[in-house]
Amino acid sequence: MKNNWRQKLHLEPKSGWLNDPNGLSWFNGCYHVYFQYAPDDPCGDGDKCWGHWCSTDMLRWTYTGTVLVPDIPEDRNGVYSGSGIAADDMLHLFYTGNVKEDGDHDYVTSGRGANVITVTTSDGHNMSEKKVVLRNQDYPDYCSCHVRDPKVWKDGNIYRMVLGARTLSNEGCVLMYKSSDLNSWEYDHVLGIPDMGYMWECPDFFTIGSHSYLSVSPQGLAHEEMRFQNVYSSGYFRADGELTDFTEWDCGFDFYAPQTFETPDGRRILIGWMGIGDIPYTNPTVELGWQHCLTVPREVTAAKDGSLLQLPVREMRKLRRENRDLENGMTTPLPFELVADTDKEFTLNIGGYLTMSFVDGVFTLRFTDDNASGGRTVRKAALSDCKELLLLADTSSIEVYLNGGEKVLSTRFYPSDTEVKLEFSGMSGILYELDALEVKLDEQ
């Protein structure tokens, strides 16, 4: 039954280890999704590279292979995370070249090189020579050696870059740079607030409507019952002036390092790593030679109060096949999509593997089968009420969207069968059986 864990809705590597999504962009008629990749080992050992998928519709994907590898002195210990921007008929990619010096170092205050490196490509997978545009000496002197994950965008006639950083006093922040040509970069200013962890990874800055937002993945937040339940967290600030109102993107077990980009029709799309580093639970696909996946692409919109909502991209609806009214005790094959209206309180049991419930203002996702959980236990989210549930279930993962994406919870799970029984109370709706994404290798 283990081979049934190969997913049908989520992008995952054929072999090896996947983590952060990188270089998300629309260029030359295609969506481009790069990802940090250790092709030789499902536990992440070996060279850290970038793999690449492309698609014209976010449903039919072509994998073109490993497109960036550590092959110069400035990235010899890894091609780390970064971003992409289309300009001058080229796709410009920026990433952190990781260097670890020999010697007695802690690799926080000394011994680590964090180089911002850029390449260009005209087709998404054949790369130019690498050019180093920022080195450690180009960062403020209050920074540690942990500066990484460049995100680049255009703001009027100026290009801007945000970098995640850790200060020497162990405070997370982001560094802002600016450029007129994508090659020469000048430090602009820093953004940060106290007591929000020791390192801010994978920053992203974007605007929706009249509001600006800074997304970061902070490490070192104190865990709470309803917030920051994972080893590391990911969320966004309102950034219209000072940073305010930090909100987590996803309250589930498996979500980190999201990145966004804009589609040709102006939608803001988010994709996250459906995993986290240093987790206390496991993914049994390691035994089969691969580990981790990306979330489905999500449309991000702003509510009236400026908070952000997430839902699967509308293109995913084209995968809907048969549909049935929800009936208590019904059996359905994986994958499926469930769209339901819910009562003041509700419960849902999926195959005896995990339960979902909303009681007294708390949504709870709880595993009831140790074999399916890989060590995952319970996650919670606070809501004033919960009237809508959208559930996207793949062969070994689940994404839960509450109240039109007000709260989202993502988790891996490893069922022993390809069908699950649904038992519930307090809801009514429709269940859709889903076709699979088309994912193929590039035949070039």
Largest CA distance in the chain: 64
Q: How far is CA 42 from the centre of its chain?
A: 18
DSSP tag of 316: G
Interacting residues of 364 by C-beta distance below 8 A, sequence separation 6+: 355, 356, 357, 358, 378, 379, 380
CA dihedral (50, 56, 57, 63) positive or negative = negative
Tell the residue number behind the tokens 């959980």, with chain if given.
373
| 360, 384 contact by CB (below 8 A) | no
Annotation says 245 is catalytic = no
Beta-strand relationship, 407-412 and 30-38 = unpaired
Q: 331: which 2 tokens?
A: 């059996």
Question: Which residue out of 20, 75, 204, 394 is catalytically annotated?
Answer: 20
Nearest to 51 by CA among 31, 38, 40, 35: 35
Nearest to 24 by CA among 295, 232, 262: 262
Q: Is the peptide bond before 335 cis (omega within 30 degrees of 0)?
A: yes
Q: How far, in Å, CA of 34 to CA of 52, rounded?
A: 4
Other C-beta atoms lying within 10 Å of the C-beta of residue 66: 16
By annotation, the residues acting in catalysis are 20
